[in-house]
Amino acid sequence: MTDGVAVLSPAEGLCQTELMLVAFSVAPSGTPAAGPAPANASVHDAVAAAVKVVRESGLPNRTDAMFTTIEGEWDEVMDVVRRATEAVGHYGERVSLVLKADIRPGYYGELTGKVERLEAALGQAGTAGKEGQE
């Protein structure tokens, strides 16, 4: 470990451990297609269907007001995004997908690790600015 970040060496097979973070947002538009979605469904119903797919995947994930972030290997993450998008497709004739990825071979646990390092930096910055002000 380096500064709380687990780093894998090339000898450990980076191809097998290329984890990534993907933040995505998916929303329907237009008239719902024939299917399982009720005619009076709201966007939050469609988003709930997508988040359900993500949570059932078993991959580490976090949902906030704007995006759902997933951590995993390329194929498994993209499969979850595809299935979540398909779930939303039942709520409209068209689907909008916004996707952002952080691909950093050799690192894992970044869903929480990035935030922990940020909070630590904020804590240090908060005390550094107060020195000599008393």
Residue 31 or 130, more confident: 31
Give dist(CA 117, CA 123) in Å, integer: 10
Give dist(CA 85, CA 22) in Å, integer: 14
Q: Tens digit of pLDDT for each residue in 72-121? A: 999 999 999 999 999 999 999 899 999 999 998 888 899 999 899 999 99
Q: Tens digit of pLDDT for each residue in 13-65? A: 444 458 999 999 999 998 776 666 666 778 999 999 999 999 999 999 999 99
Give dist(CA 19, CA 109) in Å, integer: 9
Is the predicted pLDDT of residue 10 greater than 50, yes or no? Answer: no
Q: Which domains does the chain have, with CATH numbers?
A: 12-128 (3.30.70.930)
Give dist(CA 36, CA 27) in Å, integer: 16
Give dist(CA 48, CA 27) in Å, integer: 10
pTM, whole model, 2 decimals?
0.75
Residue 65 or 5, more confident: 65
Q: What is the pLDDT of residue 1?
A: 46
